[in-house]
Amino acid sequence: MSDKAPIVVAANVTKQFGQLKALNDVSLSIMPGTVQCIIGPSGSGKSTLLRCINQLEKIDRGAIEVAGELIGYRRVGDELHELSDAEIARQRLTTGMVFQRFNLFNHMTALQNIIEGPVTVLKRPRRESIAEAEALLARVGLADKRDSYPIELSGGQQQRIAIARALAMKPKLMLFDEPTSALDPELVGEVLSVMRDLAATGMTMIVVTHELGFAREVAGDVVFMDRGEIVERGAPAQVLVAPREARTRDFIAAVLT
């Protein structure tokens, strides 16, 4: 895949849950090395879009390509055939995802959580995986917590371990689904700091967030979603400071109140 080609292309994506149209004809392309922030009210489809990109949800219509590959399906002539679970699992390795809740294995130490994927899924040598995990722990500022269990860590520390765990799989794309929303306010900054550093290294990131200051500082592009649709998209200075759409203005005013 060329650096001049988008790493993610969502084309006319629709996803329904019963009568609820969570995504309605959503199209979006994201270039490698950029940070795409997605904002919007609860229920606007932001998290559903991330889950579709990571194949945690199947789309009903449209198509998504990640790193030049159609996800979830294989084209055979004019027909689409669903991929097997094993093929989907292989495709999912392209992306790392960090959730609102940290989803760490409570019976494993921080180090064990980080090496589980590389050793078990990627079949990489344990010694090599431990060395890389220790480097990742240092990168997220938690080198001294390698042998700590999740219950011994603050929420901010657990989320930083979750970021390190995702990075250990060497993804091309990182997805963040409201990564600070479950944290106490005083812990938000430490997680955003790690994400800023990650963005500075050129990691491609899609971040669903209510942290408008972070979006203004780090995002190359901001999307505002509402009712399953992209209402507005543009540079942070435009969308966050001088939004064109009334729905965007109302949302930002509510968040900043």
pLDDT in tens, 157-167: 999 999 999 99
| 6 CB-near residues (< 8 Å, 6+ apart) | 29, 30, 31, 32, 65
Which pLDDT score, from 0 to 100, does residue 110 have?
97
Question: Which of residues 45 and 256 earns the better pLDDT score?
Answer: 45
d(CA 59, CA 25): 11
- Whether residue 108 contacts residue 116, with contact meaning beta carbons closer than 8 Å, is answered with yes
User: What pLDDT does residue 160 have?
Assistant: 96
Mean pLDDT, residues 209-218:
93
Strands lying side by side in the sheet with 20-30: 20-30, 8-17, 61-66, 69-70
pLDDT more than 90, % of the chain:
89
CA angle 166, 26, 79 (to 5 degrees): 90
Beta bridge partners, 81, equal: 74
pLDDT band at 78 (very low <50, low <70, confident <90, very high): confident
pLDDT at 1 over 60: no
User: Is the predicted pLDDT of residue 257 greater than 80, yes or no?
Assistant: no
Across the range 47-76, mean pLDDT stands at: 93
What is the mean pLDDT of the segment spanning 93-119? 94
Is residue 113 within 8 A of residue 104, CB to CB? The reply is: yes
Residue with tokens 């979830």: 72
**Mean pLDDT in residue range 199-216:** 94
Averaged pLDDT for residues 218-230: 96
Query: For the chain, what percent of residues have pLDDT higher than 70?
Result: 99
What is the pLDDT at residue 2? 53
pLDDT score for 27: 97
Q: How does residue 11 score in pLDDT terms, banded at 50, 70 and 90?
A: very high
Tokens 């090599």 map to which residue?
128
What gap in Å lies between CA 224 and CA 251, rounded to an integer? 9
Mean pLDDT throughout 191-213?
94
Q: pLDDT at residue 3 above 70?
A: no
Q: What does the pLDDT read at residue 4? A: 80
pLDDT tops 80 at residue 114: yes
Whether the predicted pLDDT of 153 surpasses 80: yes
pLDDT at 65: 95
d(CA 95, CA 40): 23
Question: What confidence tier does 77 reach under pLDDT thresholds 50, 70, 90?
Answer: confident
Mean pLDDT within 183-201: 93
Average pLDDT over residues 112-116: 97
